[in-house]
Amino acid sequence: MQEATETLRKTPVQKRTRQTLDVLFEATAQLLQSGGAKGLNTNAIAERAGFSIGTLYSYFKDKTSLLRALALREFARQEAEFAETLAAHRALPREAMVRAVVRQGFAPFAGRHRVRRHLLVLFGNDVELQRALHDMVDRMTERLIDAVGIEAAAMPPARRYILVRAALGPIRAAVMCEHRLVATAELEDELVRLVLFLLQPETPSRN
């Protein structure tokens, strides 16, 4: 993504660079999970990661650019895992496939929902990140429609638009308010029913 290269000062081509970024991102996630955004700074991140502050600044100009890169990295990981989940469950009944991808929707940041919540708060109005998220969800939607064997033209545009978003919305809301239903079987069951309903064939209108 263009946003990712603009956020990073170095393009992560070499294995060592990727490993360094992984450690910095993990340190940031750990600090967000344990203490939240308040008090989070580049010195604390560098110390947790075991790097000098100079190493951190060689990749990121400030804390915000690091957090944006963390969010973009999570988008890419989530999309890849969504595709892998569909591929792994493609031969199973539709309900099993839908349940697997709904469950995967709760998985960002290894289940550390406080990390997800803090990033949602920080970047909820970030136009570039929201565009990246929008494009990712569109691609996930097309993959799901293809995986369940529905003809692309058979699904109305409005239903196509809400298919994945209808599940992501409640997940996001539950994470934001730290609701007791986060990642529970109860919420998962309802989201599976919702997505299966949206995947039903269009009923001919009565004249």
pLDDT digits (tens, 9 = 90+) for 156-201: 999 999 999 999 999 888 888 888 888 789 999 999 999 999 999 7
Domain covering 2-198, topology: Tetracycline Repressor; domain 2 (1.10.357)
Domain locations in the chain?
2-198
Residues 196, 201, 206, 207: is their CA dihedral positive or negative? positive
How much of the chain, in percent, has pLDDT values that exceed 90?
60
CA atoms within 13 A on the CB side of 87: 6
Mean pLDDT for the chain overall: 87
Is residue 1 predicted with pLDDT exceeding 60? no
CA distance 115 to 36: 8
Least confident stretch, 81-85, 94-98, 105-109, 157-161:
105-109
What is the rounded CA–CA span in Å between residue 190 and residue 199? 14
Could you write out the three-class secondary structure of the chain?
Answer: CHHHHHHCCCCCCCHHHHHHHHHHHHHHHHHHHHHCCCCCCHHHHHHHHCCCHHHHHHHCCCHHHHHHHHHHHHHHHHHHHHHHHHHHHCCCCHHHHHHHHHHHCCCHHHHCHHHHHHHHHHHCCCHHHHHHHHHHHHHHHHHHHHHCCCCHHHCCHHHHHHHHHHHHHHHHHHHHCCCCCCCCHHHHHHHHHHHHHHCCCCCCCCC
- The pLDDT assigned to 2 comes to 44
pLDDT at 54 over 70: yes
Residue 3 has pLDDT above 50, yes or no: no
Q: How many CA atoms lie within 13 A of 122 on its CB side?
A: 21
Question: pTM of the prediction?
Answer: 0.82
pLDDT band at 5 (very low <50, low <70, confident <90, very high): very low
pLDDT at 27 over 90: yes
In this prediction, residue 165 carries a pLDDT of 96
